Structure 1
Amino acid sequence: MPAAPSAALPPAPGAAALPPPGTGQGAADLAHAAAAHDLSPLGLFMMADPIVKGVMLLLILASIACWGIIIEKMIAARRLKAEANRLAGAVTGAATPESGLAAEVIRAGAREWHEGRDAAESRGEYRERMEYAMRAPLVAAFRAAEPGLPLLATIGAVGPFVGLFGTVWGIMNSFSGIARSGDTSLAVVAPGIAEALFATAIGLVAAIPSVMAYNRFTVAFTRIRQGAMASIHELAAGMARRPAPSRVRAAE
């Protein structure tokens, strides 16, 4: 007699049902591809195209230079502000500086004052001569503090475009890889695009502080210079109203 077909046994209570073959394979592939790509900043840099990597290195160096200039200009602005305050104190008679830029400015004006006013020279010309002598060391000090500001402006203006170049180049390479592989899954596309966008992010990190620092220091140096020039004008006007020691001795 032919054997009766065996009846399908129901699954045992509590036993987990096995998924049909092939189920979850796509998710496993995506997880494996994501694990193969390190999406941390260091990983994105190491996996980038050589040209994109060169762009990133250039922007990182620009950012380091930017912060070095910012720290140096902060120190220079603080020093110049202190010297301008000492000049303002000399105008009010609070204290006479004996060293530093303020003392050098006063000594330059005192030399002209000791020479006295020429017979054919008006009081205004006499004052202008003393002002010109006192402005010389002040202008030299501000010129010594200005180098680096043009580099801040350049980094702020060019940095985003350099990063954008790296991004465009990286996206072009990503699309070329998609065309060669024929796979448009997110796990394949995302790493290349992330590397490309990382270049733009570094460009913005370098550019934003540069623009802010350039504007800040430009305004700060201008205000300090204006205050120091006003003090020089007051000092020269006060000297012009007093007779020089050489003229006093000649009159005696």
Structure 2
Amino acid sequence: MPATPAAAITLPRDLSPWGMFMAADIVVKAVMIGLAFASVLTWTIWLAKLLELTRASVRLRAGIAAIAAARTWDEARAQIGANGGVGPLVREADTELQLSVETAAPHAVSPDGVKERIASRFERAEAAAGRAMMRGTSILATVGATAPFVGLFGTVWGIMNAFIGISKAHTTNLAVVAPGIAEALLATALGLVAAIPAVVMYNFFSRWIAGYRGLNADATASIMRLVSRELERGAFDRRRRGVAAAE
């Protein structure tokens, strides 16, 4: 007599993913809900960081092109305006240049001193930009590292309950054992569903952010070259004399 129909008839639970979730122990349910939330959070961060990095990279490239096309510092400031990419860098450099012009000795502005102080400001600005771009990626790393183990915890707990159920039922019939084990394994599956995309996204964004930092370095180098040309032309020294005359 075929055993398959009898086994199918005696299956006590719905073995669809939703049915297994509803029949799971409260601890396993909590694990599954936590993993589902982590997966939703991962994809939300992916979308937000994708838009943020795309917009920031486009603005930075446009700003670098504007700086490269500028022939004077005033022209660069006019072209950049409120550009979100290199605008903060230009403002940092312009602030230091203004301070240098106002506080330098009457005879000249020290080019080396000015460039050193601007470079110091740029280091801080680049570090801040890098931290801003990394915001949220630590969550991806955390989900990628911990979600499989959280899912494994749910699996171990579920299997433990399945064996307790076996001992209470006094039977090793697969129809009795299988649902509890399937519920437990669903937790591991959800852990992998949350972890694998998170790891891939973290690596993807890490490479992109490294490229963004490279663009920032290109932008600071372009600005420094323009400032150096202005210093050699004596433009800021003439501005200093204009400030002194106005006083």
Is the contact made by 1:126 and 1:240 (CA closer than 8 Å) also made in structure 2? no
Q: Structure 1-normalised TM-score?
A: 0.80
Contact 2:31 2:151 in 1 (8 A): yes
Identify the range of structure 1 (66-75 vs 175-184) with the bigger mean alpha-carbon deviation.
Answer: 175-184
Give the equivalent residue in structure 1 for 2:155: 167
**5+ long unaligned stretches in structure 2:** 71-75
Deviation of 1:140 after TM superposition, in Å, equals 3.0
Q: State TM-score, norm by structure 2.
A: 0.82
Alpha-carbon contact 2:63-2:83 (below 8 Å) kept: no
CA RMSD of aligned residues (A): 2.5
SS in structure 2 at match of 1:233 = helix
Q: How has the CA–CA distance of structure 1 residues 27 and 212 changed in structure 2, closer, same or farther, with 3 Å as cutoff?
A: closer
> Which ranges in structure 1 are unaligned for 5 or more consecutive residues?
1-22
The Cα shift of 1:130 comes to: 1.8
Q: Is the 8 A contact 2:92 2:122 kept in 1?
A: yes
Letter in 2 for 1:30: A
The C-alpha deviation readout for 1:99-138, integer Å capped at 9, x for no partner, is 2322232122123234446469753332122233345444
Q: Which moved more, 1:182-191 or 1:238-247?
A: 238-247
1:51 aligned to 27, 50, 55, which one?
27
Q: 1:198 aligns with which of 186, 191, 214?
A: 186
Partners of 2:206 and 2:20 lie apart in 1 by: 36
The answer as to 2:87 corresponding to 1:107 is: no
- Residue 55 (structure 2) aligns with: 79
Percent sequence identity is 39
Note the alpha carbon deviations across 1:145-186, whole angstroms, 9 max, x for none: 322111111110010000001101111111111122122122
- Give 1:97's aligned residue: 80
Structure whose residues are more often helix by fraction: 2
Separation in 2, partners of 1:124, 1:233: 15
How many residues are paired up? 228
* Counterpart in the other structure of 2:116: 128
